[in-house]
Structure formats: structure tokens, C-alpha cells
Chains A and B, each alone.
Chain A
Amino acid sequence: MSAELAAEPLVGFRHWGARRGGLYSGIFVAGRFVPNPALGMIAPRVKPVPWPTDDNRVAKCFALRGHDAPHRDCNCGFAAYYALPDEPELPAPEAVWGAICAWGHVVEHQTGFRAQYARPIALLDLRSPGDYREKGKRLENAAAAYAIPLLARDELVAYARWHGELRAA
């Protein structure tokens, strides 16, 4: 599959685990957030790092036979959905949703994509009930660290569209 040239960056929506201002990729298991489990398996002593606050991060693949990310036949790359779910789930207190802008090499799937480069552009103003850590300012701390706005749902979608191509899912 050869890559087509596209005119704009691609925008999408995803969730992270937010801790002390950092946005971490990871999984949610039984109400808990586990940052970057793939990295934890190959290098248990390496601390997970949050998404950077600048543009200088290229996606990496943590598979044993590594390759440039994203690869068509892998799950690597910065991933997001084309559409924000009607009722975004917050499976753990750390869970936050937001929009990203992606560029470089992008593998486009049926309902989302994986990209070589990406950065968060805004966060959804939706917080997990019962999240009392960080003095109830988890979202505000992350938004301030990344210098991005905290927006209501409709505003977030409009803001994302302004930053690039928003594909229909």
C-alpha cells in the first residue's frame, strides 16, 4: 500500500491518562490506568514518559522486531478515533479525552488512524466523578502544561476541524 499525499494534517479524538500535568498513553484495566504497557514489558525499569509538550516527538514501535512507526501491519503510532464518542467513557479517575493533530506518515483505518507525529490540541471538559486527586484540577493542570484549551464538546469538535481534516468515521 503506497502512501497518498494529503493536503492537511489529520485530526482525531482519543483518551489519555493524566497525571500531574502529563498526558500518558496506556490502557485502563478494572478502573485503573496502566501507562504504556508495551514499554513496561520490554523495559520494566524504564519510566513511562508523557506526550511531549512540543512537536519533536516521533512515534516508536515497541515490538521486538522494531520498524518505523506507524507500520500497516502493527498497532504502533499515535492513535486516535475520527469521531468523539457520543458519551466518552472515563474508565479511571485519570482518564481524560481530547483532540490531536497528526501528520507525517499516517495509516488510516476504518474508525481511526495511527500517525508518525501528533500533538494534543485541546482537552474535553469532562472529568471523572470521584476524582479528588490534584485538588480536582487534573484537567486544568494538563491543559496548562500543554498550553491547550479546555473545551465543551461542540467547541472541541469545531476547534479540531480548524486544525486539519476531520474525517467522517
Chain B
Amino acid sequence: MGDIGKPIRETERPAPVRPAEPDVEPVRAPPKPEPVKT
């Protein structure tokens, strides 16, 4: 890393929040309809 200049201030910062995993079953595609015999 190169020069980043003089210090200006100091901070305390929170950790990043990761998106929560979904707690529900994934939506599944409905079963294919039976072919209609004529």
C-alpha cells in the first residue's frame, strides 16, 4: 500500500452483517399434470 496521508480521526465500527440464511424450505415446482387420455 502506498501513502494514505495523515491520520484524521479514529473510529470504532461494527462488524458487517451477513444476510441470514432462509429458514423455510425452498419453493418447489408443482408436479407435472398427468397427460389426459382421450
> Interface on A for B, CB 8 Å cutoff?
1-10, 14-15, 25, 55, 72, 79-81, 101-115, 117, 163-164
Q: Are the C-beta atoms of A101 and B1 separated by less than 8 Å?
A: no
A-B contact count (CB 8 A): 82
Q: Separation in Å of the B10 CB from the closest CB of chain A?
A: 4
Interface centre among B5, B9, B14, B15 (most CB of A within 10 A): B9
Which 10 pairs of residues, A with B, have the shortest CB-CB distance? A110-B5, A112-B4, A109-B4, A3-B10, A6-B11, A79-B1, A103-B13, A109-B5, A6-B13, A3-B12
Q: A15-B1, A164-B16 are in contact. List 9 more A-B contacts (CB 8 A).
A: A5-B12, A6-B12, A72-B10, A105-B10, A107-B7, A110-B4, A112-B1, A114-B4, A117-B15
Q: Is the CB of A107 within 8 A of B14?
A: no
- Which of A2, A55, A79, A101 contacts B10 (CB under 8 A)? A2
B8 within 8 A of A: yes
B17 CB, nearest partner CB in chain A, Å: 9
Residues of chain A within 8 A of B9, CB atoms compared: 1, 4, 108
The main secondary structure of chain A at its interface with chain B is: strand
Say if the beta carbon of B28 comes within 8 Å of chain A.
no
Query: B37: CB under 8 A from chain A?
Result: no
Asked if B6 lies at the interface with its beta carbon under 8 angstroms from chain A, I say yes
- Contact at A10–B5, with CB atoms within 8 Å? no
